Structure 1
Amino acid sequence: MRSIFTITALVLALGIVGMLAKKQWTSSRVPLVPAAQGGATGTAQQQSQQIQQQVQQQMDQLMQKPRPMPDDESK
């Protein structure tokens, strides 16, 4: 009898975790091509190259930003 309650509780917990994971997964999806760029036109290869170029440009911009220097106060 105790094992039936244990298995039922485990299945219920697994179901809850599964539903939460599915909800989180679907809410975190981002469209590959933003709508501001005219929608999803072109082949998958062209879209992939465009995304790679966007990521490269963003990385270049981030690498160009100066990092804040720490204070030289020695205690």
Structure 2
Amino acid sequence: MGILGLLLALVVVGLLAKKQLGVVSGTAPATQAGVSAPVGMPLQQSQQLQNQVKRSVEEAMQQKRPESPDQ
């Protein structure tokens, strides 16, 4: 019974490890239309994401706000 439990635990750990490795090396994450997924090392991905957010904020700031009916 002890060896069977040990083998069962080993199988479960192996399946979990395989699942995690599949997530890490799997397909690229889904993105919004017009936004590319960061590619490369984690530092590069972070910098790319920061640049995308910065561009998005700058574009939002450039857009004209609708005028309020009170004016």
TM-score by length of 2: 0.44
| Structure number with higher helix proportion | 1
TM-score by length of 1: 0.42
